[in-house]
Chain A
């Protein structure tokens, strides 16, 4: 079932056109890997999906409903904020909030959101209990229950990234995006993060993962998009992308250049 559809996303920074008409769709429960050389626009695409950048052109449909249209009226802050909640984003360098414990990092945004509900006053206890229960479950899921009250600065990079994933999940996004989640990590720490992604994929979380981990992409992603200079040069099943008879020469040489 189609969850997300992107049509003709274009984005320029000044004179540089970074996205030159990106279109793809994503089914619910699918894991999509986006690969491509540095500077091809992968980060910019994820930022557009998360409304950190506004595309110059294009439309986004979520669940069949138009969520963004560049030619429509400019959305206000509150509207963007609401739309943004449909997505989560895990950054390359984690961006945890250093002054909060792991558990507080998970609960902060959901609690602020709950406080905006009209019936918050009457149901405060219930809301908070629900948020904390969910956060506890998420910490268990990423294997960091023991670090519940630790501060981010005391964690390894891999642990911080797992907290960041749990924090993104605490908002229950429809689609979770990852921007090279392991490239700031020492090699021995990437596995623990990839394992979390693996288990999320097996639970049918809808995910878009920008990654340079080809083995991981081949194994976990059902589909691969190869970006090349702002366009999608390949979009197909990962078996095809990483298989012997990959139809796209540039993709083939790109995968070859990374795996060697």
Chain B
């Protein structure tokens, strides 16, 4: 293999360093109007009356929309499931006359300029009937609490549970039982490109959509469903790239259907770009309160694990209906071996903003709880936390604990533990709180022992991919797929996989720009750490088809059997024959598309019927499995006991990714994931006024994310290559655990430094000082 494991330059980088024209935020169409949403100041209210007459009369206003003007069909906006999926809750409409969170859109306008649109919004009169609001999910479950949706009288949207074994017996067999409560908070993905769309309704009532999103086909389907039109009447254009997503662009927003309806009314394209404060209330990682009860033997063997999770989903269920399951299954129930376990989840409506998708999808909240508690158990029982986890770990070759029918064919968890420990210098770690002075150092770690490379085994979730690989007469190949590049390098790895399979240099494979839902096969979203494994598998399969055709044509030209041919570095040659008996891929591709007599350097050459036909490969397939990566993060922190400030000094992140395709890109995932995980642990927090429910952290001055100053200077990636048999060139996934493990690792390191355990994120200086008894 010549390209796998190397780090060729990203094909999209040159464009991005010289201006970056390809973002959806740059899309401009002739005659385009600017849309703007009017948002409710109240968290819970009924709209009595809306008067838009003054706004409609303002010169330059071309369309106005109110809840009375939108289709009433209820849907789930989540891209990766069918809009009517039974596992989800269909509780959204495009614009409702009941307001359930502060900032919910209640009307919209489209005008010839943004300035006029803003003026028009100020002219819309809305009469609200305020309703009592509820912001605490546990209070919302109590009888007598305000009810948000008629279908959920106790405000519980979904209430899944899972378990196995005999919990009572498990606790009876335990030598020790530990109980704890762990609270996580609401954070934003902070993609840098705002959510933005341009929707154009043509004279036939068909829509062309440009949007900053993570899933072409999900957007097509959800938009069509919400608008109550056939799916084929929506064409979604694939942007060359978008400015980040991290799960925050994994659902139909308010903006796309509103822009579509405004465009239909105005007969012109409509663009809506969210302001940053609108983005902050559009999507968030859900706060989850986890009650954990764990039984262990003296030696640290689990005998019983029970957990209950209360997830605050805000005004609508959307992702909250699925996040709770991933959180329970992959975060709490199945991470380690335990014979008796049970988990119950509650996804609860409140008048808070709607939660969304965010890298890790429920696992960061679970990992914080479970990995904090394991360290508490070890501290109490005097056990080595690495040995504890190893004792309870799954082993390679075992049946997959979550997905029936799969095995842990490649599983390098223990190697991650061992190599990470070695790299951070675990042996030099001191006993908790054994330092002196006001600046105390500590080392800690946390694990995500089991994760996914897609969603095989989840009955309602799409999990297939497709690709088209087409050879050009100059020896290059076009690769078309619906898989979006959110920034994490999908264009690069997919081109690399195609080039490797076709025996072409990296530069010879190019991702098709502006493909759309009419020209490429269906693909599940860029989410769930799935693209390298699942879309990579589909790309490889399409490239294999093209390669077979290439060798067939070359075989005729070289008078050799295709089995005797190899292709490498852009040349097809006969195994064992002199180099002169070879052809460039370009020559073969030209022959395949040539007229019946081909005129070349050797003069006219007659060609055969079998040679005719563009060399092209197509795939559309579900992946073979859902192999589980594993991850461990070790960190060293320094805590200032006078100020409560925590500095993360260094981090070592070990991950079993099957096979490393692009080392530089993989390290980038780790380093960026650590930034998000560290921000989650220490500083990021979406905050709301307790009375009005309005967002208090609506810009980056109030919502703090780590800058280059706060980040540790030393972040090391340790990649464990277990070579997954079903993965493209052995690969499985990377992205999400990078963000899951830092928070509990930091919490455990803080304990090691100062002997103080914080059970509630984020771990702010105030909480540390309070725990030290200093304030």
A binds B: no
- Which residues of A are interface residues toward B (Cβ below 8 A)? none
